[in-house]
Homo-oligomer: A and B are copies of this chain.
Protein backbone atom coordinates (compact mmCIF):
# COMPACT_ATOMS: atom_id res chain seq x y z
CA UNK A 1 0.00 0.00 0.00
CA UNK A 2 1.38 3.34 -1.01
CA UNK A 3 1.49 6.02 1.65
CA UNK A 4 0.10 9.42 0.72
CA UNK A 5 1.64 12.62 2.07
CA UNK A 6 -1.65 13.38 3.78
CA UNK A 7 -1.65 9.93 5.37
CA UNK A 8 1.96 10.22 6.46
CA UNK A 9 1.32 13.58 8.08
CA UNK A 10 -1.47 12.06 10.19
CA UNK A 11 0.01 8.66 11.03
CA UNK A 12 3.39 10.05 11.99
CA UNK A 13 1.70 11.77 14.95
CA UNK A 14 0.63 8.40 16.32
CA UNK A 15 4.24 7.23 16.32
CA UNK A 16 3.80 4.94 13.34
CA UNK A 17 7.30 3.88 12.32
CA UNK A 18 6.55 3.27 8.67
CA UNK A 19 5.15 6.80 8.23
CA UNK A 20 8.15 8.21 10.04
CA UNK A 21 10.53 6.32 7.76
CA UNK A 22 8.72 7.63 4.68
CA UNK A 23 8.60 11.18 6.06
CA UNK A 24 12.37 11.06 6.59
CA UNK A 25 12.88 10.01 2.98
CA UNK A 26 10.65 12.85 1.82
CA UNK A 27 12.58 15.51 3.74
CA UNK A 28 15.87 14.01 2.58
CA UNK A 29 14.77 14.50 -1.01
CA UNK A 30 13.72 18.09 -0.35
CA UNK A 31 11.45 20.01 -2.71
CA UNK A 32 7.76 20.91 -2.42
CA UNK A 33 6.73 17.61 -0.76
CA UNK A 34 9.26 18.18 2.03
CA UNK A 35 8.13 21.78 2.50
CA UNK A 36 4.50 20.63 2.61
CA UNK A 37 5.21 18.03 5.32
CA UNK A 38 7.20 20.48 7.42
CA UNK A 39 4.48 23.12 7.09
CA UNK A 40 1.93 20.56 8.27
CA UNK A 41 3.98 19.24 11.19
CA UNK A 42 5.93 22.27 12.34
CA UNK A 43 3.47 22.92 15.16
CA UNK A 44 4.34 19.52 16.61
CA UNK A 45 8.08 20.11 16.52
CA UNK A 46 10.58 21.86 18.75
CA UNK A 47 9.87 19.47 21.61
CA UNK A 48 12.96 17.24 21.76
CA UNK A 49 16.30 17.73 23.42
CA UNK A 50 18.76 17.78 20.51
CA UNK A 51 22.15 16.30 21.27
CA UNK A 52 24.94 16.72 18.74
CA UNK A 53 27.80 14.23 18.81
CA UNK A 54 30.82 15.07 16.71
CA UNK A 55 34.52 14.31 16.42
CA UNK A 56 37.18 12.87 14.11
CA UNK A 57 36.76 9.45 12.49
CA UNK A 58 37.90 6.59 14.68
CA UNK A 59 37.30 8.18 18.07
CA UNK A 60 34.33 5.88 18.63
CA UNK A 61 31.37 8.19 18.12
CA UNK A 62 29.02 5.41 17.03
CA UNK A 63 29.95 3.18 19.94
CA UNK A 64 29.43 6.07 22.31
CA UNK A 65 26.03 6.89 20.82
CA UNK A 66 25.08 3.25 21.08
CA UNK A 67 26.02 3.09 24.75
CA UNK A 68 24.20 6.37 25.31
CA UNK A 69 20.98 5.02 23.77
CA UNK A 70 21.13 2.03 26.10
CA UNK A 71 21.74 4.30 29.10
CA UNK A 72 18.88 6.64 28.19
CA UNK A 73 16.50 3.71 27.72
CA UNK A 74 17.68 2.07 30.95
CA UNK A 75 17.11 5.15 33.11
CA UNK A 76 13.78 6.43 31.84
CA UNK A 77 10.93 5.94 29.41
CA UNK A 78 12.18 8.33 26.75
CA UNK A 79 11.90 7.77 23.01
CA UNK A 80 15.30 8.14 21.38
CA UNK A 81 15.87 9.03 17.74
CA UNK A 82 19.31 9.03 16.11
CA UNK A 83 20.27 10.74 12.88
CA UNK A 84 23.68 9.59 11.70
CA UNK A 85 24.61 12.30 9.23
CA UNK A 86 27.34 11.81 6.69
CA UNK A 87 27.50 14.66 4.23
CA UNK A 88 30.82 13.36 2.92
CA UNK A 89 29.34 10.07 1.86
CA UNK A 90 30.93 9.73 -1.59
CA UNK A 91 34.15 8.27 -0.22
CA UNK A 92 33.07 6.81 3.10
CA UNK A 93 30.60 4.04 3.57
CA UNK A 94 30.68 4.44 7.34
CA UNK A 95 27.16 5.68 7.94
CA UNK A 96 25.43 2.85 6.17
CA UNK A 97 27.59 0.19 7.75
CA UNK A 98 27.25 1.61 11.25
CA UNK A 99 23.52 1.83 10.78
CA UNK A 100 23.19 -1.84 9.94
CA UNK A 101 25.23 -2.95 12.89
CA UNK A 102 23.33 -0.75 15.29
CA UNK A 103 19.96 -1.64 13.89
CA UNK A 104 20.69 -5.16 15.08
CA UNK A 105 21.39 -4.04 18.66
CA UNK A 106 18.30 -1.91 19.13
CA UNK A 107 16.02 -3.58 16.63
CA UNK A 108 13.60 -4.92 19.23
CA UNK A 109 13.21 -1.62 21.04
CA UNK A 110 10.26 0.18 19.49
CA UNK A 111 11.17 3.41 21.25
CA UNK A 112 14.48 3.72 19.42
CA UNK A 113 14.69 4.90 15.82
CA UNK A 114 18.03 5.09 14.03
CA UNK A 115 18.46 6.58 10.61
CA UNK A 116 21.48 7.25 8.42
CA UNK A 117 21.32 10.37 6.34
CA UNK A 118 23.51 11.13 3.38
CA UNK A 119 23.02 13.66 0.65
CA UNK A 120 20.23 12.47 -1.57
CA UNK A 121 20.07 15.40 -3.88
CA UNK A 122 18.51 17.99 -1.62
CA UNK A 123 19.98 21.09 -3.26
CA UNK A 124 20.46 22.74 0.12
CA UNK A 125 22.68 19.90 1.23
CA UNK A 126 22.41 17.60 4.18
CA UNK A 127 22.09 20.37 6.78
CA UNK A 128 18.67 21.57 5.63
CA UNK A 129 17.43 17.99 5.36
CA UNK A 130 18.67 17.27 8.87
CA UNK A 131 16.75 20.18 10.41
CA UNK A 132 13.56 18.85 8.84
CA UNK A 133 14.35 15.25 9.79
CA UNK A 134 14.58 16.34 13.44
CA UNK A 135 11.09 17.83 13.06
CA UNK A 136 9.71 14.54 11.76
CA UNK A 137 11.14 12.68 14.76
CA UNK A 138 9.67 15.29 17.09
CA UNK A 139 6.26 15.04 15.45
CA UNK A 140 6.50 11.31 16.02
CA UNK A 141 7.02 11.83 19.73
CA UNK A 142 10.77 11.36 20.14
CA UNK A 143 11.98 13.05 23.32
CA UNK A 144 15.67 12.84 22.56
CA UNK A 145 17.22 13.27 19.13
CA UNK A 146 20.91 12.52 18.79
CA UNK A 147 22.54 13.99 15.71
CA UNK A 148 25.73 12.09 15.10
CA UNK A 149 27.93 13.60 12.42
CA UNK A 150 30.17 11.03 10.87
CA UNK A 151 32.58 13.33 9.10
CA UNK A 152 34.64 16.25 10.25
CA UNK A 153 34.17 18.92 7.61
CA UNK A 154 32.52 22.31 7.79
CA UNK A 155 29.10 20.95 6.96
CA UNK A 156 29.35 18.36 9.72
CA UNK A 157 30.29 21.01 12.25
CA UNK A 158 27.42 23.19 11.10
CA UNK A 159 25.06 20.29 11.67
CA UNK A 160 26.48 19.49 15.09
CA UNK A 161 26.07 23.13 16.07
CA UNK A 162 22.32 22.98 15.52
CA UNK A 163 21.97 20.83 18.64
CA UNK A 164 20.95 22.17 22.04
CA UNK A 165 23.85 20.29 23.58
CA UNK A 166 26.97 19.50 21.59
CA UNK A 167 29.23 16.67 22.69
CA UNK A 168 32.75 16.76 21.27
CA UNK A 169 34.37 13.33 21.26
CA UNK A 170 38.14 12.93 21.26
CA UNK A 171 40.53 10.12 22.00
CA UNK A 172 43.86 10.01 23.81
CA UNK A 173 47.07 10.78 22.02
CA UNK A 174 45.65 11.45 18.60
CA UNK A 175 47.00 14.96 18.51
CA UNK A 176 43.51 15.99 17.53
CA UNK A 177 43.00 17.52 20.93
CA UNK A 178 45.81 19.99 20.48
CA UNK A 179 44.72 20.73 16.94
CA UNK A 180 41.13 21.25 18.05
CA UNK A 181 42.19 23.55 20.84
CA UNK A 182 44.28 25.63 18.48
CA UNK A 183 41.64 25.94 15.81
CA UNK A 184 39.00 27.13 18.24
CA UNK A 185 36.77 24.16 17.68
CA UNK A 186 36.57 23.70 21.45
CA UNK A 187 34.10 26.55 21.54
CA UNK A 188 31.36 24.43 20.06
CA UNK A 189 31.59 21.76 22.78
CA UNK A 190 29.18 21.93 25.73
CA UNK A 191 30.58 18.65 26.90
CA UNK A 192 33.83 16.84 26.14
CA UNK A 193 34.32 13.12 26.05
CA UNK A 194 37.73 11.48 25.90
CA UNK A 195 36.71 8.06 24.62
CA UNK A 196 38.89 4.96 24.50
CA UNK A 197 39.88 5.87 28.02
CA UNK A 198 41.80 2.62 28.40
CA UNK A 199 44.45 3.88 26.00
CA UNK A 200 47.54 5.57 27.48
CA UNK A 201 47.31 9.34 27.85
CA UNK A 202 43.55 9.60 28.47
CA UNK A 203 44.01 11.55 31.68
CA UNK A 204 46.59 13.79 30.05
CA UNK A 205 44.28 14.59 27.15
CA UNK A 206 41.44 15.33 29.57
CA UNK A 207 43.67 17.65 31.58
CA UNK A 208 44.78 19.50 28.45
CA UNK A 209 41.18 20.07 27.48
CA UNK A 210 40.32 21.31 30.97
CA UNK A 211 43.26 23.68 30.94
CA UNK A 212 42.30 25.14 27.60
CA UNK A 213 38.71 25.53 28.79
CA UNK A 214 39.92 27.51 31.77
CA UNK A 215 41.99 29.74 29.54
CA UNK A 216 39.10 30.55 27.26
CA UNK A 217 36.92 32.95 29.15
CA UNK A 218 33.68 31.37 30.16
CA UNK A 219 31.00 34.01 30.01
CA UNK A 220 27.99 31.75 29.81
CA UNK A 221 28.01 30.40 33.35
CA UNK A 222 28.36 26.82 32.15
CA UNK A 223 31.52 24.89 32.85
CA UNK A 224 31.88 22.24 30.17
CA UNK A 225 32.57 18.89 31.85
CA UNK A 226 35.28 16.62 30.49
CA UNK A 227 34.40 12.93 30.81
CA UNK A 228 36.63 9.94 30.20
CA UNK A 229 34.75 6.97 28.76
CA UNK A 230 35.35 3.53 27.38
CA UNK A 231 32.16 3.17 25.40
CA UNK A 232 33.00 -0.39 24.30
CA UNK A 233 32.47 -1.59 27.86
CA UNK A 234 29.97 1.11 28.95
CA UNK A 235 32.42 2.86 31.24
CA UNK A 236 31.63 6.48 32.05
CA UNK A 237 28.41 6.55 30.04
CA UNK A 238 26.08 7.34 32.93
CA UNK A 239 28.23 10.39 33.77
CA UNK A 240 27.97 11.59 30.18
CA UNK A 241 24.19 11.21 30.20
CA UNK A 242 23.99 13.02 33.55
CA UNK A 243 26.09 15.89 32.21
CA UNK A 244 23.94 16.13 29.09
CA UNK A 245 20.86 16.46 31.28
CA UNK A 246 22.66 18.99 33.47
CA UNK A 247 23.35 21.04 30.39
CA UNK A 248 19.72 20.94 29.32
CA UNK A 249 18.66 22.06 32.81
CA UNK A 250 21.20 24.86 32.70
CA UNK A 251 19.92 26.04 29.31
CA UNK A 252 16.37 26.14 30.55
CA UNK A 253 17.09 27.75 33.89
CA UNK A 254 19.35 30.37 32.40
CA UNK A 255 16.74 31.11 29.72
CA UNK A 256 19.32 30.25 27.14
CA UNK A 257 17.49 27.52 25.27
CA UNK A 258 15.30 29.98 23.41
CA UNK A 259 18.23 32.28 22.62
CA UNK A 260 20.17 29.34 21.20
CA UNK A 261 17.25 28.20 19.12
CA UNK A 262 16.79 31.71 17.80
CA UNK A 263 20.40 31.76 16.57
CA UNK A 264 19.91 28.36 14.95
CA UNK A 265 16.71 29.55 13.31
CA UNK A 266 18.55 32.53 11.85
CA UNK A 267 21.23 30.24 10.45
CA UNK A 268 18.62 27.92 8.96
CA UNK A 269 16.75 30.85 7.44
CA UNK A 270 19.97 32.05 5.80
CA UNK A 271 20.52 28.62 4.28
CA UNK A 272 16.92 28.36 3.10
CA UNK A 273 17.14 31.77 1.47
CA UNK A 274 20.42 30.79 -0.20
CA UNK A 275 18.75 27.61 -1.38
CA UNK A 276 15.82 29.48 -2.94
CA UNK A 277 18.22 31.86 -4.68
CA UNK A 278 20.19 28.91 -6.02
CA UNK A 279 17.14 27.14 -7.43
CA UNK A 280 15.66 30.32 -8.88
CA UNK A 281 18.92 30.82 -10.73
CA UNK A 282 18.89 27.21 -11.87
CA UNK A 283 15.49 27.68 -13.44
CA UNK A 284 16.56 30.99 -15.00
CA UNK A 285 19.54 29.22 -16.54
CA UNK A 286 17.11 26.88 -18.22
CA UNK A 287 14.41 29.33 -19.25
CA UNK A 288 15.72 32.88 -19.43
CA UNK A 289 17.51 33.91 -22.60
CA UNK A 290 18.84 36.97 -20.79
CA UNK A 291 20.52 34.85 -18.12
CA UNK A 292 21.91 32.46 -20.71
CA UNK A 293 23.45 35.39 -22.58
CA UNK A 294 25.01 36.60 -19.36
CA UNK A 295 26.71 33.24 -18.89
CA UNK A 296 28.05 33.46 -22.44
CA UNK A 297 29.56 36.85 -21.62
CA UNK A 298 31.10 35.35 -18.48
CA UNK A 299 32.67 32.49 -20.40
CA UNK A 300 33.99 34.98 -22.97
CA UNK A 301 35.41 37.09 -20.12
CA UNK A 302 33.34 40.13 -21.11
CA UNK A 303 31.80 40.40 -17.67
CA UNK A 304 33.18 39.20 -14.33
CA UNK A 305 31.35 36.74 -12.04
CA UNK A 306 30.70 39.17 -9.19
CA UNK A 307 29.09 41.78 -11.44
CA UNK A 308 27.13 39.05 -13.21
CA UNK A 309 25.81 37.70 -9.91
CA UNK A 310 24.61 41.16 -8.86
CA UNK A 311 22.88 41.64 -12.21
CA UNK A 312 21.27 38.22 -12.27
CA UNK A 313 19.93 38.41 -8.73
CA UNK A 314 17.96 41.51 -9.65
CA UNK A 315 16.66 39.75 -12.71
CA UNK A 316 15.50 36.60 -10.96
CA UNK A 317 13.97 38.26 -7.93
CA UNK A 318 12.21 41.08 -9.71
CA UNK A 319 10.21 38.36 -11.42
CA UNK A 320 9.22 36.61 -8.23
CA UNK A 321 7.90 39.80 -6.69
CA UNK A 322 4.14 40.24 -6.74
CA UNK A 323 2.97 42.42 -9.66
CA UNK A 324 1.53 45.13 -7.43
CA UNK A 325 4.95 45.73 -5.96
CA UNK A 326 6.80 46.11 -9.22
CA UNK A 327 6.28 47.83 -12.52
CA UNK A 328 8.61 47.00 -15.38
Binding site for B on A (CB under 8 A): 35, 38-39, 42-43, 45-46, 55-56, 87-93, 119, 125-126, 131, 151-157, 176, 179-180, 183-185, 258, 261-262, 265-266, 268-278, 280-282, 285, 295-296, 298-299, 301, 304-310, 312-314, 316-318, 320-322, 325-328
CB within 8 A of A180: which of B42, B90, B153, B183? B90
A305 cross-chain contacts in B, Cβ below 8 A: 38, 42, 131, 265, 268-269, 272
User: A155, A304, A305: which has the most chain B beta carbons within 10 Å?
Assistant: A305
Cα of A126 to Cα of B266 in the assembled complex, Å: 22
> Distance in Å from the Cβ of A14 to the closest Cβ of chain B?
20
Of B93, B266, B278, the residue contacting A274 (CB under 8 A) is B278
**The 10 residue pairs across chains A and B that have the minimum distance between CB atoms:** A272-B309, A277-B277, A88-B153, A317-B317, A42-B304, A274-B274, A153-B153, A35-B306, A91-B152, A274-B278
A183→B306 contact, CB < 8 A: no
B270/A278 in contact, CB under 8 A: yes
CB distance from A196 to the nearest CB of B (A): 17
| Beyond A39-B307, A43-B301, A274-B278, 4 additional pairs, beta carbon < 8 A | A91-B152, A91-B176, A262-B295, A270-B281
A179 to chain B minimum Cβ distance, whole angstroms, is: 5
- Taking each of A35, A156, A304, A312, which has the highest tally of chain B beta carbons within 10 Å of its own beta carbon? A304
Find chain B residues with CB under 8 A from A285 CB.
Answer: 266, 269-270
> A91 with B185: in contact, given A272-B305, A274-B275, A278-B270 (CB under 8 Å)?
yes
A272 to B274: give the CA distance in the assembly, Å: 9
On whether the beta carbons of B155 and A155 are closer than 8 Å, the reply is yes
- Look across to chain B and name the residue whose beta carbon is closest to the beta carbon of A268: B305
Q: Flag if B269 contacts A295 (CB, 8 Å).
A: yes
Q: List 25 A-B contacts (CB under 8 A).
A: A38-B305, A39-B306, A56-B91, A88-B151, A88-B156, A89-B183, A91-B176, A91-B179, A92-B179, A153-B156, A262-B296, A268-B305, A269-B281, A269-B285, A269-B295, A269-B298, A269-B312, A272-B306, A273-B313, A274-B277, A314-B322, A317-B321, A321-B326, A325-B326, A327-B327
